[in-house]
Amino acid sequence: MIRVGVNGYGVIGKRVAYAISKQDDMQLVGIAKRNPDYKAKLAIKKGFNVYSSGDPKEFENSGVGLSGTLQELLGKVDIIVDATPEGIGKENKALYEKAGIKAIWQGGEGHSISNLSFNAYANYDSAIGARYARVVSCNTTGLLRTLFPLQKEFGISSVNAVLVRRGADPSETKKGPINALEVDKHIPSHHGSDVNTVIPGLSINTVAIKAPTTLMHLHAVTVELKKSATKDEIIELYGRYRRIALVSLKDGVNSTAQVMDIARELGRGDGDMYEIAVWKEMKAEGNKLQYFQAVHQESDVVPENVDAIRAMCNVEKDSQKSIDKTDKSLDIGV
Ligand code: NAD
């Protein structure tokens, strides 16, 4: 059993903790929270041990029974998943180093934090036995999920993608916009170069826009393939990857609202959509492919964290076996 801790129990941390608790080769030793808020209380209700990365007295005053401090949690685990806000993970690195444990960070941190950026389909093998890794962001994970199969099967000459990003997560009230479309100040946006931290040398250009929605990101992707492909071949290819869900206008799925309705209907914890939804209504002409995909920002990175743990802790050297195990435990594959 791999002993795992989760530091930061927000949007990503609570989902990763739940996923770890579903693995038969991992033990969730506990989660660390900064504040004794409702999420800390719900974690205890779920049977998770809560540790404090803030002031233990505040937890005591709020009636949240602690199992110890973050430092104590670090002393009990083989690996910690850091899911603290962007930039804070970097500050925590010294703590993990001191504790002599392995660590995984999220996409808010830069590639240099671990010099190993992870996606299960694209580079599982490079994480085997690694001490540190970073699971790339939700958008980058979404791009890698659908680009990796194309690269493997047909080869890619170039990628151009427009990313319409959600303005905030559903539980956030301080972000926006709430009535505008906001252009990313960087052209290209950082997402393309982030893809290159996992697939070096891939020619990819991305631009990004923030939209007043909380449900999902939507990507419009144009790929120049090295070998020509038909639409049916692409659909058949994507059908072989469980972490891609093919959806169709013909079934009444014409927006992220219906994709997330499907996720809720599936009855998963938090109504999550771990799969990247790709519309069957794509265009493949010669070497050129154009498609739309939707990314559930809150959950697509969750199975990636589980696989990264398995690779780094050397318990499964076969990427497909780890992916199969993770997918089965989380009921992935629509
Ligand atoms: P969040 O704000 O929802 O949760 C962060 C958690 O860390 C909270 O429990 C907070 O209390 C805790 N925390 C620990 N130390 C803290 C400190 N010093 N200051 C403030 N809070 C502290 O964040 P999130 O959205 O889960 O993001 C976590 C990481 O995952 C980031 O790197 C982010 O970029 C990445 N990520 C986020 C999303 C998303 O859509 N939310 C998707 C993919 C990756």
Domain with 313 in it: what CATH number? 3.40.50.720
Q: Is 150 a member of any domain?
A: yes
Mean pLDDT in residue range 143-166: 98
The pLDDT tens digits of the residues spanning 24-37 come to 999 999 999 999 99
- Which run of H or of E encompasses 329? helix 319-330
68 vs 46: CA distance, rounded Å: 17
Q: Is 93 a member of any domain?
A: yes
* Pocket of ligand 1, beta carbon within 6 A: 8-13, 33-35, 53, 83-86, 88, 106-109, 137-138, 169, 297-298, 301
The pLDDT tens digits of the residues spanning 65-116 come to 999 999 999 999 999 999 999 999 999 999 999 999 999 999 999 999 999 9
Pair (230, 316) in one structural domain: no
User: How many angstroms is it from 170 CA to the middle of ligand 1?
Assistant: 14
235 Ramachandran zone, left/alpha/beta (phi>0; psi -120 to 50): alpha
Pair (71, 91) in one structural domain: yes
Percent of the chain's residues with pLDDT above 90: 99
Q: Is 275 a member of any domain?
A: yes
Pocket test for ligand 1, best of 12, 52, 270 (most atoms within 8 A of CB): 12
The pLDDT tens digits of the residues spanning 251-293 come to 999 999 999 999 999 998 899 999 999 999 999 999 999 999 9
23 vs 325: CA distance, rounded Å: 8
We report the CATH number of the domain holding residue 193 as 3.30.360.10
Q: Is 334 a member of any domain?
A: no
Q: Is 132 a member of any domain?
A: yes
Residue 319 in this model has a pLDDT that exceeds 90: yes
170 vs 33: CA distance, rounded Å: 20
Pair (212, 94) in one structural domain: no
Instruction: Determine phi and psi for 304, rounding to 5 degrees.
Output: -65, -40
Give start and end residues of each alpha helix (H) in 50-154. 56-61, 70-74, 88-99, 120-123, 138-153
Its domain, for residue 214, covers 138-295
Active site residue 313: no
Q: What is the mean pLDDT of the chain?
A: 98
Pair (10, 129) in one structural domain: yes
Pair (246, 321) in one structural domain: no
Residue 229 in this model has a pLDDT that exceeds 90: yes
Domain count, the chain: 2
Pair (28, 114) in one structural domain: yes
Pair (127, 157) in one structural domain: no
pLDDT of res. 234: 98
Pair (320, 267) in one structural domain: no
Pair (252, 111) in one structural domain: no
Pair (178, 115) in one structural domain: no
Pair (240, 318) in one structural domain: no
CA distances from 219 to 52, 74, 113, 206, 294 (A): 38, 38, 27, 10, 6
Residue whose Cα lies nearest atom 11 of ligand 1: it is 34
Q: Which of 37, 322, 295, 77 is nearest to 166 (CA)?
A: 295
Pair (117, 185) in one structural domain: no
User: How many angstroms is it from 7 CA to the middle of ligand 1?
Assistant: 9
Residue 334 in this model has a pLDDT that exceeds 90: no
- Which run of H or of E encompasses 129? none
Residue 173 buriedness (CB in 10 A; 0-12 / 13-18 / 19+): exposed
Which atom from ligand 1 is nearest to the alpha carbon of 172? 3
Pocket test for ligand 1, best of 59, 69, 80, 84 (most atoms within 8 A of CB): 84
